[in-house]
Structure 1
Amino acid sequence: MKLSVVPALLGPVGALQLPLFNAEASQSELSTSSKQLISSELLQEQVKAENLLKRAKELYEIAKLGEEEYQHPTRVIGSKGHLGTLDYIYSTLSELDDYYTITNQSFPAVTGNVFESRLVLGHTVPSSATPMGLTPPTKDREPVYGPIVAVSNFGCDASDYPDNLSGAIAFISRGTCPFGTKSDLAGKAGAIAAVVYNNEQGDLSGTLGTPTPDHVATFGISDSDAAPVLEQLKNGEKVDGIAYVDGIVETIMTTNIIAQTIEGDQDNCVMVGGHSDSVAEGPGINDDGSGSLTLLELATKLTQFTVNNCVRLAWWAGEEEGLLGSDYYVSQLTSEENQKIRLFCDYDMLGSPNFAYQVYNATNAVNPVGSEELRDLYTDFYEAHDLNWTYIPFDGRSDYDAFIRNGIPGGGIATGAEGVKTEEEVALFGGRAGEWYDPNYHQIGDDVSNVNLTAWEINTKLVAHSIATYARSFDGFPKRTLDDISSFSAEPRKYHGHRLQL
C-alpha cells in the first residue's frame, strides 16, 4: 500500500490540492492504440473477489490513521483516515498512464460531532433520545433546565410557538417541514432546547441540515417515549426537562476526486460515483468502501480498453454528512456541462453481509427520462444470471439525489443498510430474517470482515456491465435536451442521505 499521506498535498486550508493532468499529449497515443473496444464481458472477466478483498484490507489500514483523534479506525471527513483515503484514490489513479484526466474539487463542508448527550423528561430518561445530526451544543456545553412546552401543529410556522417558550424546552411533532426549520423557529421563540417526537411508530433519528444562528440543541425521540409526556401536558400537568449536548458544528474543507477518460465522446458521458468517507463511528469498509473500491478497481481495469463515450468516475466527500460532495458538484455544473452527463449511476454499499440484491425503483414517471432504462439494465443483468432482485425506494438516501433533481437520469444498486430482512427475502437471497442487511451499519464493526465477497464480486461485475454498456454505446438510451436541466423537484424529501430531514 502506498501512502504519501499529506502534508505534502495539504494546502493552507487542509484540503488536498491535487493537480490537473494535461491530457493533450496522450490523446493521440490513445486514439491510435491497439487496445480493444470496451465490452461488458471482457471487463467483467477482470473482476476478482481477491482483488477487492486486498483493497479492503488496504483501506482498513488507512482508516487506522483516524485512531489518534477518534480512538478507533474511521474515515470521516476531516480525519487523517479520510485524507489517507483521498491520497490512496488519487495515487492509484495517477499511476494509470494518463488514461484519465484527474481533478480535485475542494469545497466547504459542515460537519458535526456529539461527544456526550443526555435528555430527561420529567422523571424519565427516554431510551430513544438521539441528538439530531448537526445539532449545536446546549449553552456553554452544560445541562440546561426548563419546563417542557408543547408546540402547536407541526411547528412549521412562527405562530405555532407559544409566548411562554422562553427558557423552556420545545416539544414538537415530526411532520410537514424539515427538522432544521423546527429547531430554528424554537430558537427564535426563546427555547433553550428542542425535542422532536415521532408521529409514526418507532424511534426518530434525523438531521438539522444546514446550520442557522437560531438552531438550538435538538433531540429526536420515539412516539412511545413521547406519549406519557403528551398526556401529562394535555391534562395541564407541569413537566420539567433537562437537556445536555456537548458537541461541535464546524465548517472544514474537503475534496471530491473526479477521473474522466481522455478518450471517448466528451459530450456524452456515463458517470458513476461512490463516496469516499465513512461515519465517525467506524471505518466504513462496506459503507462505502465497497462502492468506492469497486470504482477504483474498475478504473484500473478499464485502461485495457478504448471507449466510444467518455467515462467519468467520482469519489464524493461528505456523503455521510448529508450528500455534501455530490450536492456541491452538481450545483457547480453549467447548463452545458450538465447536459454532457447522459446518466449517473450510484454505487453505495455493495457487499452487505446479510445482503439482498436491491435496485432503486427509478421510474421515468417521476424521475428524469432514462432513469427507468438504467433500472431495467440492472434487473436484466440479475435475471440473465439467474439471480433474484428486489426494488427499493428511490427516495434521496444517496448521492444520486442532486443529479435527478437537476434533470440528469439516475439510478443504482445496493445490498441494504439498517433495514430488516424478511422471511420472503431469505427465500430469495438466503441470510437471516429479522436482522439488518448490514448488522454493522455505521458502527465500529464495519471492517474487512463485514463484506460478503460473493455479493460484492457479483455487484462489481454489474457495475462493470453498466460502465461498459454505455461507454460503448448510448443507442436506445433517451437523449437529453436543455429542457431536462431545470430543477426536477424542489420539494424536500423525507431523506437527504441516510438521515431523515423531515
Structure 2
Amino acid sequence: MTHAGHWATLSYIYAALAELGDYYTLSNQSFPAVSGNVWESRLVLGNDLPKSASPMGLTPATKNKQPVYGDLVLVENEGCSADDYPKAVEGNVAFILRGECSFGAKSELAGKAGAVAAIVYNYEKGDVHGTLGSPSPHHVATFGLSLEDAKPVVKKLKAGTTVDAIAFIDADVESILTTNIIAQTVGGDQDNCVMLGGHSDSVAEGPGINDDGSGSLTVLEVATQLTKFSVNNCVRFAWWAGEEEGLLGSDYYVSTLSSEENRKIRLFMDYDMMGSPNFAYQVYNASNDANPAGSQELRDLYVEWYKAHDLNYTFIPFDGRSDYDGFIRNGIPGGGIATGAEGVKTDEEATMFGGKAGDWYDPCYHQLCDDVSNVNLTAWEVNTKLVAHSVATFAVSFKGFPERTDVAAGAYEKSVKYHGHKLVI
C-alpha cells in the first residue's frame, strides 16, 4: 500500500501541487493502516484445484507459511456463532457459507474452533473476494470460493463423503503509516466547499495506471487548470491512500472531521477509474431517497452533460465500492462517474459505447497489465472534461443545490454490498 512506488506517487502529487504557488493550502494527513500482501497461494479440494479460489485480503499465512492438510468440515448456518462450528473443525479446514456476518468474524471463529484454514463459499453465482478487515490473533488462512466450485463439494459432504483439502498461503500483514494529500483553494467561501478525490494507491498485483492513476491524475490536472480562474466557493481536492485495503484513507479523513467541518463540505465527488480500455460511461445511481440530499442533483449534472455532448451513459449501483462511502455514511451528499472494473460489458453497452461485449470493462483490473497501455485515451479525456465541469459548476455557485443537513443515509447503509472493491459479508 505505501511502498516505494506509492511514496513516489505521493511525492509527485505533492511536488506538482507545490509548484502552483499560493493558490492552494496543502496538507499531508498521515494515518495508521494495515497492509497485507499475498505472495503465493494454492487450494486443493480432493483431486481438484478450484479456479475461483481466492485468498482474502489481510489473510494470515498458513502455519509456518507451509501447506496445511485436513478434511473439509461443513460449518452450520453461516458460521456466525461459535455453536455453528462442530468439534470436527479442530485440526481440519472449515467450510463456511457466505452471509450474515463479516468474513473476518467467520475466520476468527474458525480459528478459535481450531481450524487450520477456512474457506468461505458463495450462496449466489460468482466468486467471493473479500477482506478479513482488522487483524485478529485468531484469524486463520482464509480463501473465498464460488458457488459453482463449492456445489459439488457441499453435496459430497452432506452425503457423508470425506473430502480432504490442502491449503497454502504465503502472506504478510503489517501495520504502517500512510498519507492522504489534501489541497484547498485559498479563495472562495471557506464554509461552502465542493470536494473531490481519487486514490493514490494500487493493489500489490499491479501498477494501477487505470486504477486509479487515471482518476488521481485527472484530479491533479483539474487542480492545475483551476489556478487560472477565481472561485466563489472553496474547492478541496484529495488523494486518498489505502483505498485498496478497504477505503482506509477516506474513512479516516471523514472520521476526523468535527461536525462543524463536516457541514462545510457541501458534496463529495469520487473519480476512480476514468479510462478503462473496454469502457462504458458510468454514472453512480445516487438518489436523494436513499442518500443525503444533493446526491441526486449531482447524478443529474453528469447525465445532463453527457446528453449535451451526445454521449451515451449508463447507471451503476451506488453500493459502497469507492471512496464516496465514508462521506455518504456521514451525511455528506456524493456521487461520481467511472468507466468500469471487472464487470462484463453487455451487448447493449457494446452498441452504446463500442468495445467488446462479454469482456471486462478493464481486462487488466487489479493485474500486472494495468500499465500505461491500459487506458482508453478518448474515455479519459472525455471524463476529465466532465470532472472539470463538475468542479466549475459548484465552484461558481450552489444555487438550487440542497443545503447540508446532519442526517446520514440509513437507506444507503442497508443497501450497500461492498466496502471498497471487496465484499464484506
Q: Partner of 2:47 in structure 1?
A: 123
Structure 1 alignment gaps of length 5 or more: 1-76
Establish whether residue 327 from structure 1 lines up as the match of residue 229 from structure 2: no
Encode CA deviations 1:324-352: one digit per residue, 9 max, x unaligned.
10011011111011000000000001111
Superposed, 1:43-192 pairs within 5 Å as 77-192=1-116
Encode CA deviations 1:394-425: one digit per residue, 9 max, x unaligned.
00000000000000000000011111111101
Contact 1:407 1:487 in 2 (8 A): no
Q: Percent identity?
A: 71
Superposed, 1:14-413 pairs within 5 Å as 77-413=1-337
Q: Partner of 1:44 in structure 2?
A: none
Residues in 2 aligned to 1:486 and 1:178: alpha-carbon distance in whole angstroms = 21
Structure 1 or 2, whichever has the larger Rg, is: 1
Cα distance, 1:491 vs structure 2: 5.1
Q: Partner of 1:58 in structure 2?
A: none
SS at match of 1:153: coil
Distance 1:155 1:493, change over 3 A: farther
Q: Partner of 1:74 in structure 2?
A: none
Q: Partner of 2:393 in structure 1?
A: 469
Residues in 1 aligned to 2:352 and 2:41: alpha-carbon distance in whole angstroms = 41
Residues in 1 aligned to 2:87 and 2:337: alpha-carbon distance in whole angstroms = 49
Residues in 2 aligned to 1:428 and 1:124: alpha-carbon distance in whole angstroms = 41
Q: Partner of 2:340 in structure 1?
A: 416
SS at match of 2:173: strand
Contact 2:290 2:412 in 1 (8 A): no
Q: Which moved more, 1:162-171 or 1:88-97?
A: 162-171
Residues in 2 aligned to 1:236 and 1:151: alpha-carbon distance in whole angstroms = 14
Contact 1:368 1:488 in 2 (8 A): no
Residues in 2 aligned to 1:208 and 1:257: alpha-carbon distance in whole angstroms = 27
SS at match of 1:182: helix
Q: 1:498 aligns with which of 402, 421, 425?
A: 421
Residues in 2 aligned to 1:456 and 1:492: alpha-carbon distance in whole angstroms = 30
Contact 2:206 2:367 in 1 (8 A): yes
Aligned Cα RMSD in Å? 1.4
Distance 1:214 1:259, change over 3 A: same
Aligned-partner residue type, residue 67 of structure 2: P
Q: Partner of 1:458 in structure 2?
A: 382
Residues in 1 aligned to 2:105 and 2:380: alpha-carbon distance in whole angstroms = 39
Q: Which moved more, 1:306-315 or 1:448-457?
A: 448-457
Encode CA deviations 1:320-377: one digit per residue, 9 max, x unaligned.
1111100110111110110000000000011111111000000011111110000000
Cα distance, 1:164 vs structure 2: 2.3
SS at match of 2:223: helix
Residues in 1 aligned to 2:338 and 2:373: alpha-carbon distance in whole angstroms = 18
Q: What is the TM-score of this pair, normalised by structure 2?
A: 0.97
Q: 2:355 aligns with which of 416, 426, 431?
A: 431
Q: What is the TM-score of this pair, normalised by structure 1?
A: 0.83
Cα distance, 1:486 vs structure 2: 8.5
